[in-house]
Amino acid sequence: MELVINNIDKKYPNGVHALHDVSLTIQKGMFGLLGPNGAGKSSLMRTLATLQDVDSGSAHLGGIDILNDKASLRKVLGYLPQEFGVYPRTSAIDLLDHLALLKGFDNKSERNQIVGELLVKVNLWEHRKNAVSSYSGGMRQRFGIAQCLIGNPKLVIVDEPTAGLDPGERNRFYNILSEIGENVIVILSTHIVQDVRELCTQMAIMDKGKVLFSGNTDEALEQIKGRVWEKKIDKHALAQYQTDYKVISNKLVGGNPLIHVFSDSDPSSGFTRAEENLEDVFFAKIHELV
């Protein structure tokens, strides 16, 4: 089964053109949707999750017409939005049971088995009787994964899932997502480049509602291979370097900026060739250099 998105366009009443002729083909496995805040990622995710209509275009998951047969899509969809609410005094096991009932699992013993297996899968069994509102950020996200796996979905959408998580929780979350992605389509929408690099073999980069790149991560890196150079400079010189060179990124290292510039040839002046990474691809695409 594959997800095929063709020429989706969406403009909000306030005039924001959130999605501009978006087309993507997504196979089973982990797919990273990368872009800055406001790129249109969440608008696309909300569309695929049947939470909003679009002005034009089409989207199909196998034989399901997502835009015109929302009920069928929802039966095979798991969705973890950026923010999700919980009943404040309800335990994880009771809340999952309630959500499974809403999903159509009427048999109590079947629900018990489903809920138990999911809580074990996301490593929350020991905390099953605690209120979800008392969970840490990472635990809440793992609960979110559990609820979106009810009913063995064919498409799982997670929107900015690791923001605010500590390294340990991020790693646990990565492991769960990777396991899920072995069997279904998982779309990971994020602005964190490391998330995509560590989890996904297929990816797309969006900005201002448009798809700037779609392919595998190796193809993305090949586009900038040998064209990124780096140099550590004084703080006061940054503005001048940004004027003289195509600076795609800078970060402080030991108190001074380490800049990456984009150039087809050696810019000299003390620059050395940088090992290309997805962050460089991201910034090069956003700045329309490749």
pLDDT digits (tens, 9 = 90+) for 159-202: 887 777 788 888 888 888 888 888 899 999 888 888 888 889 89
**Rg of the chain in Å (alpha carbons):** 21
Quick one: CA dihedral 61, 64, 69, 72, positive or negative? negative
Q: Does position 68 have pLDDT exceeding 90, yes or no? A: yes
| Per-residue buried b or exposed e for 243-265, using 16+ beta carbons within 10 Å of the residue's own CB | eebbbbbbeeeeeebebbbbbee
Residue 236 DSSP symbol: G
How do the domains of the chain map onto residue ranges?
3-76+153-221, 92-146, 224-286
Percent of the chain's residues with pLDDT above 90: 62
pLDDT at 40: 92
pLDDT at 81: 83
The set of residues, in sequence order, having a beta carbon less than 8 Å from that of 211 and lying 6+ positions away, is: 22, 23, 24, 204, 205
208-231: pLDDT as tens digits? 999 999 999 888 999 999 999 999
Q: Which CATH number fits domain 3-76+153-221: 1.10.10.10, 2.40.160.10, 3.40.430.10, 3.40.50.300?
A: 3.40.50.300
Six-digit token string for 157: 């959408």
100-154: pLDDT as tens digits? 998 889 999 999 999 999 999 888 999 999 999 899 888 888 898 899 999 889 9
238-270: pLDDT as tens digits? 999 999 999 999 999 888 899 999 999 999 889
pLDDT at 49: 93
Q: Do the beta carbons of residue 186 and residue 174 sit within 8 Å?
A: no
How sure is the predictor about 71, in pLDDT bands with cuts at 50, 70 and 90? very high
